[in-house]
Structure 1
């Protein structure tokens, strides 16, 4: 059982209502940012080129001959732009985050892109075009179901359960807001970590009352991995704030969706 499956708060929703009680316990291809990127120009995000990627992209072979298989970029976005740049002139490539327990000292892998038909139809029948759902869209679907609906029922339910013992003067008010960049460093001002939460939850005592609790959330859909750099930043933030990993399970759509919520613990 993975770390984010332990000590979780699991919910199942159908037709906007809770049906199972909890267990106790993006850049366009034409974006100029994707042009003229060279590994090593910026540092901080380490990527290893895998054999499958070398098999499908000759330009990557030339890069590896110059820089080696371990390539460094300023961020994941920077690395993804580089993968798009190479893909435009050769075989498709993609960036995949290294799992938390990966023994290698890299943040991600550069892989051959075997995504299904997401740019062109997988099938065409008359005037009906059928497209496959790629990994990125799959992840966005899970996030949108949770935070983009008129009311984020699952998050409201979690907060009500979490604060059930808190004495309030007025009715609990839960506000789900978009996440913003958080930059953190250690006590010496070094080892800076950056993270953009998928959302922030603010719980107040009444509409204009004091803040009762605050949660910062990272949302993953299906078996998508939490990136090592994300986890490090979340653990550091958890020293002072409530931080949640949320796993969305959407295989039973459109009838149901499920989620697991695991609170991040600060490092020892």
Structure 2
């Protein structure tokens, strides 16, 4: 559940209409859906961003929808002749981190992770290792009578050669810098981890353009229901 804050309503007329129709608590099903909504609404009016709720939030709230107060996202921070310099807001910062593993010409960091995880050397596979990275799709996940949904940021498939057998599949959620994972989202990932490999990936882009860092942490499954 995402709580809409008053500052976000003030800067964005489309969001204001949404709140008037559905209230201040909006259910998007996943953080990626909430961030897609924030980007869509930001394109036509005031900038919005999604911020994870702290773990000690007493209410059933996973995240907040806030006004992105960075002063120079829509307007240049500096103009030098024909060069316009813009600040990087929270939404763009997150998108830059996601782009490295998902949209790179070759996902070297993920390929290295897969090789280490599966203990694959250069000569282990006759036709080599092929790693495909695809955008995630909405996954319905059931736990007893409860039905949850999660859209991973990407799905990594490791195959023996271009058309070979499937070696492993990983469902991944990506955060840039110290951005948080929502409690409800993590619970859904833990449920999926009973049957699939699920990864939390954190990308640090503060040293770009020279370097970036990537850390992968496997999600442990929730305990089986008795």
Q: TM bucket by the smaller chain? A: 0.7 to 0.9
Post-superposition shift, 1:235?
A: 1.2
Task: Report the CA distance shift for 1:266/1:48 in structure 2 as closer, same or farther (over 3 A).
Answer: same
Confirm or deny that 1:72 pairs with 2:26.
yes
2:68·2:89 contact (CA, 8 Å) conserved in 1? no
CA distance in structure 2 between the partners assigned to 1:104 and 1:152 by the alignment = 39
Q: TM-score, normalised by structure 1?
A: 0.67
Whether contact under 8 Å (1:57, 1:92) holds in the other structure is yes
Q: Is the 8 A contact 2:191 2:222 kept in 1?
A: yes
Q: Deviations over 1:201-223 (max 9, x none)?
A: 21223333321211111111111
CA 1:213/1:126 → structure 2, altered by over 3 Å: closer, same or farther? same
Structure 1 gap ranges (5+): 1-45
> How many residues are paired up?
217
Bigger mean CA offset, 128-137 vs 110-119: 110-119
Show CA shifts across 1:210-253 (max 9, x none): 21211111111111122333322211111111111110001111
- The 3 A distance-change label for structure 1 pair 187 and 132 is closer
Listed one character per residue, the Cα deviations across residues 17-65 of structure 1 (whole Å, up to 9, x for unaligned) are xxxxxxxxxxxxxxxxxxxxxxxxxxxxx333446557x5698899989
Which residue in the other structure is 1:224 paired with?
A: 179
Partner of 1:146 in structure 2? 101
2:126 to 158, 170, 180: 170
**Using the alignment, how far apart are the partners of 1:112 and 1:66 within structure 2?**
19
Change in CA separation of 1:140 and 1:111 when aligned onto 2, cut-off 3 Å? closer
Q: What's the offset of the Cα at 1:171?
A: 4.5
Q: Which has the larger radius of gyration?
A: 1
Q: 1:61 to 1:152 in 2, by over 3 A?
A: closer
Between the aligned partners of 1:212 and 1:182, the Cα distance in structure 2 is 23
Q: Aligned partners of 2:213 and 2:158: how far apart in 1?
A: 23
Shift of 1:67: 8.0
Question: Are the counterparts in 1 of residues 159 and 167 from structure 2 also a CA contact under 8 Å?
Answer: yes
